Amino acid sequence: MEWIKPLPVASGETKPFWDACKEGKFLIQKCKTCNEYQYHYRAFCSHCWFGEIQDIESKGDGNIWSFTVINRNRSPGFIDDVPYVVAMIEIEGGLKIISNVINCDPWKVYIGMPVKLTFTKATEEWTLPMFEPS
């Protein structure tokens, strides 16, 4: 089925993140100098600025920190997709990741619900990280 929702755009800075998604890996980052985690993907440590940032493959386990069931979105691709869940998932390092929670009844999602990483292949070029009940 043709993907009619918006697709990401990669820059030189963010290309490694999206390339990893295609290989089924979800990259978060940790600074070798200050040991802080960060998301979304950047080419520098946004905590200490001077440290050496390194990519880490997330284990992909988390819990729903908060969520909303979107019941109205008039944008193309989403207008017929409601209701769907947008959530903040808390994963390792205390990171809160914005994502969709799929493969579940949107109205049965709750705060604290355990979820795990999954990938949705949108097109040949784009694979998008999402979460589903674990």
Partner 1 sequence: MTDLRKAAAIVGVHEHPTRFAPDKSEWLLQAESAIAALQDAGLEPKDIDAYFTSATQPEGGDLGACSSIMMADYLNIHPKFIDETDVGGASFGYFMNRAILGIQAGLFKCALIGYGATTRSKMVNVGTLGFNDLVGKPMAATPDSFEQIYGITVVGLMGMIAQRYMYDHSVTQEQLARVAVTMRNHAQLNPEARYRTPITVEDVLNSGIIASPLHKLDCCLISDGGAAVIVASPEIARNCKKPPVWVLGFGESFMHHGAGHTDWSAETRNMVSRASKDCFGMAGLTTNDIDMAMIYDAFTINVLLDLEGTGFCGVGEAGAFVEAGNVDIGGSLPINPDGGGLSSNHPGRRGIFLFVEATKQLRGECGLRQIKNVKIAACTATGAAFLARRGTAVHVLGRD
117 near partner 1 (CB under 8 A): no
Q: Read out DSSP for 95-117? A: -EEEEEE-SS-GGG--TT-EEEE
- Residue 24 lies near partner 1 (rule: CB under 8 A): no
| Cis check: omega of the bond before 47, within 30 degrees of 0 | no
**Residue at 63: amino acid letter:** N
Which position among 21, 27, 97, 117 is part of the footprint of partner 1 (CB under 8 A)?
Answer: 97
Query: Is 124 among the residues that bind partner 1 (CB under 8 A)?
Result: no
Smaller CB separation from partner 1, 97 or 117:
97
3-state helix, strand, coil in the chain (%, to 5): 10, 35, 50
H or E segment to which residue 118 belongs:
strand 114-121
Binding to partner 1 in span 34-93, by CB under 8 A: 36-42, 46-47, 65-78, 81, 83-84, 86-88
Residues near partner 1 (CB under 8 A) are: 5-11, 13-14, 28, 36-42, 46-47, 65-78, 81, 83-84, 86-88, 94-100, 111, 128, 130
